[in-house]
A and B are shown apart, each in its own frame.
Chain A
Amino acid sequence: MSLTHTAEKRIGAARADAPGLIRWLSEFTLIWKILSIALFAGAWELAGRSGFNFSFPTFSDTVAALWEMAVDGSLGAAYLRTLEPLVIGLAFSLIVGISAGIAMGLRHDVEWFSLPIFIVMQAAPMAALIPLVTFVYGIGLTAKVLAVVMLAMPVITINSYKAVRNVPPSLVSMCHSFMGSRQQQILHIIIPAASPMMFAGLRLGVAEGFSGVVLAELLITPTGIGDLITFHRSIANFAHMYATIVSIVLFAIVTVGSLQWLETALFRPEKRSSQ
């Protein structure tokens, strides 16, 4: 009890003076997070020890494997390879997807022309098309970047488009009534008003991008993380395989989570002061 108490105080203190990301993280009740992680780790450990499946490692073995790969440099090298198509693909998806979405939301001619394309792209199971990409673009970096873009861009675009469409018309009128130019309207009203929904799309898109890169590395040619997973599976190093999978899942969660922080920092000052 008293331990909880001091911990809470410490979090409270961190919240008061720590800026940015740390403060944002501490706003979640840290105690509960640690508890649920501990519970999950315990269950995993027990399941691993029960030996219900020969390929399922214990939690402690997985952590040890993760540590080993981190120290011998294989994990770092794999991430460097994987990050290349991921970062290029996501950057392209973000820039083109957001611009296209905003343009479709603002202009009826652009909407008429390109909305159907993105609706089809979003509805189609893009992962099924990844093997086709290799026929045209080979098995190099281009194909993998394209896999990321194919999965990430549609949801980013569609959400940006819907976000712009959902901007309250009275805010737009308000800007017009004070003689704001079209440019001021977009900059000062439409983009900040659309940002919550737009960022929801970004989070989904970035998550899809992670799927895209891992799929590409498993389906096209094994490189980076995909290679690490395939390799350790082939030599029955299951703890290492699980450790790799866990690491990429955690990495995706942290990346998507920091997007939320970025949104609050950039566009939503009222959420920071809402306590």
Chain B
Amino acid sequence: MSIAMQIETENAVPAASNPIIEVKGISKIYGSDIVALENIDLAFEEGQLTSLLGPSGCGKTTLLKIVAGLLKPSHGEILVKGKKVHGPGPERAFVFQDFALMPWANVMQNVAFGLKMQGVGKAAREDTARHYISEVGLSGFEQKFPHQLSGGMRQRVGLARALAVNADVLLMDEPFSAVDEQTRRKFQEDLMRLREVEKKTFLFVTHSIEEAVYVSDRIVLLSPRPGRVSQIIDPDIPQDIGPDELRRNDVYLDTVESIWHGIKKYVE
């Protein structure tokens, strides 16, 4: 079984030249018998956006949380810039699917929270927070509380909070699942722009094949329980075309189609 997987991954993975995060032999067993992940080997290159794609329950969130240091793996290790890590670190920041905003704190306080934990003084952290609040398009909302914002705006607050700590790697668990389709497209474009401007590495969980193909440099397809790497795809989409053109691009459509074929056998 592990041989079959090795062969599959061996010819699929081009050797990563400059991995900022390495996942080595990670397995996760919940309780005594729920094998959520089995022997995952992956490398994420600096400055790239990688999507984790796979059917519900295949362990995407589990893998992302292990990389974040929020969950302990049952086996294996996580290397960040070549060093083994045992928990969360300043190089990584997490964007939560349910936003995880503090309802009693306003936008400014929420965005500055990570910096506060790091011991940054009030004036300095508010300056930084203000910068990222405007970066995600929420200027003027600094004093608002989460319940006064829309779902899309709340997710932007979560994103700004992750950006504010200036981590190299952003880990995002289905960040756009709670927003409507228009907002989602806007977000996707923002995300790609952020990758250009901020030069960050993104690790991104999604349910949407189209979204993955659209925004990713690399797509990791996971198989359902036990979660394993079933396929790695590097969409080879021309860089210089606009978003509307892209959605009609042949390479784009073919990639979506082939992933759909790869994933279909699990869904049925």
Cβ-based interface call for B98 (8 A): yes
Chain A residue nearest to B102 (CB atoms) is: A171
**Given A178-B93, A179-B117, are A170 and B98 neighbors across the interface (CB < 8 Å)?**
yes
Q: Which residues of A contact B118 (CB under 8 A)?
A: 178-179
Contact of A176 among B70, B102, B104 (CB under 8 A): B70
Cβ-based interface call for B16 (8 A): no
Cβ-based interface call for B53 (8 A): no
Contact of B89 among A175, A179, A188 (CB under 8 A): A179
List the one stretch of A53-61, A106-114, A157-165, A262-270 in contact with chain B: A262-270
Q: Which residues of A contact B205 (CB under 8 A)?
A: none
Cβ-based interface call for A180 (8 A): yes
Among A173, A177, A193, A273, the most chain B Cβ lie within 10 Å of the Cβ of: A177
**Given A173-B100, A184-B117, A192-B102, are A179 and B147 neighbors across the interface (CB < 8 Å)?**
no
User: Contact between A180 and B117 (Cβ–Cβ < 8 Å)?
Assistant: yes
**Given A179-B88, A179-B118, A270-B145, are A174 and B103 neighbors across the interface (CB < 8 Å)?**
no
User: Contact between A171 and B100 (Cβ–Cβ < 8 Å)?
Assistant: yes
Cβ-based interface call for A4 (8 A): no
Chain A residue nearest to B147 (CB atoms) is: A270
User: Contact between A178 and B100 (Cβ–Cβ < 8 Å)?
Assistant: no
User: Contact between A174 and B165 (Cβ–Cβ < 8 Å)?
Assistant: no
- Mark out the residues of chain B between 36 and 69 whose CB falls within 8 Å of any chain A CB in the assembled complex: 65, 68-69
Cβ-based interface call for B90 (8 A): yes
Cβ-based interface call for A274 (8 A): yes
Query: Chain B: interface residue count, which band?
Result: 20 to 34
User: Contact between B145 and A273 (Cβ–Cβ < 8 Å)?
Assistant: yes
**Given A170-B98, A269-B104, are A177 and B93 neighbors across the interface (CB < 8 Å)?**
yes
Cβ-based interface call for B141 (8 A): no
Contact of B100 among A170, A179, A184, A273 (CB under 8 A): A170
Among A192, A267, A270, the most chain B Cβ lie within 10 Å of the Cβ of: A270
Q: Which residues of B contact A170 (CB under 8 A)?
A: 96, 98, 100
In the bound assembly, the distance between CA atoms of A35 and B146 in angstroms comes to 37
Closest beta carbon of chain B to A123's beta carbon, Å:
32
Q: Which residues of A contact B147 (CB under 8 A)?
A: 270, 274
Over the window 61-94 of chain B, the binary record of Cβ atoms lying under 8 Å from chain A Cβ atoms (1 yes, 0 no) is: 0000100111000000000000000011110111
Closest beta carbon of chain B to A133's beta carbon, Å:
40
User: Contact between B145 and A174 (Cβ–Cβ < 8 Å)?
Assistant: no
Closest beta carbon of chain A to B92's beta carbon, Å:
8
In the bound assembly, the distance between CA atoms of A168 and B146 in angstroms comes to 15
Contact of B96 among A173, A192, A195 (CB under 8 A): A173
Cβ-based interface call for A259 (8 A): no
Over the window 124-160 of chain B, the binary record of Cβ atoms lying under 8 Å from chain A Cβ atoms (1 yes, 0 no) is: 0000000000000000000101111000000000000
Closest beta carbon of chain A to B145's beta carbon, Å:
4
- Mark out the residues of chain A between 245 and 275 whose CB falls within 8 Å of any chain B CB in the assembled complex: 267-270, 273-274
Cβ-based interface call for B175 (8 A): no
Cβ-based interface call for A200 (8 A): no
Cβ-based interface call for A189 (8 A): yes
**Given A176-B70, A179-B89, are A189 and B114 neighbors across the interface (CB < 8 Å)?**
no
Over the window 239-255 of chain B, the binary record of Cβ atoms lying under 8 Å from chain A Cβ atoms (1 yes, 0 no) is: 00000000000000000
User: Contact between B102 and A189 (Cβ–Cβ < 8 Å)?
Assistant: yes
Contact of B113 among A173, A178, A269, A273 (CB under 8 A): A178
Q: Which residues of B contact A168 (CB under 8 A)?
A: 100
User: Contact between A177 and B68 (Cβ–Cβ < 8 Å)?
Assistant: yes
Q: Which residues of A contact B94 (CB under 8 A)?
A: 173-174, 177
Contact of B88 among A176, A189, A270 (CB under 8 A): A176
In the bound assembly, the distance between CA atoms of A268 and B102 in angstroms comes to 11
- Listed by A's residue number, 22 A-B pairs whose Cβ atoms lie within 8 Å are A171-B100, A171-B102, A173-B70, A173-B100, A174-B100, A175-B113, A175-B117, A176-B87, A176-B88, A178-B114, A179-B90, A184-B117, A188-B116, A188-B117, A267-B104, A269-B104, A269-B145, A270-B103, A270-B104, A270-B145, A270-B147, A273-B148
Which 9 pairs between the two chains have the least Cβ-Cβ distance? A270-B145, A178-B114, A174-B100, A180-B117, A177-B94, A170-B100, A178-B117, A177-B88, A192-B104
Can you add 14 more A-B contacts, CB < 8 Å, to A175-B113, A176-B88?
A: A170-B98, A173-B100, A174-B100, A175-B117, A177-B69, A177-B70, A178-B88, A178-B118, A188-B113, A188-B117, A193-B104, A270-B106, A270-B145, A274-B147
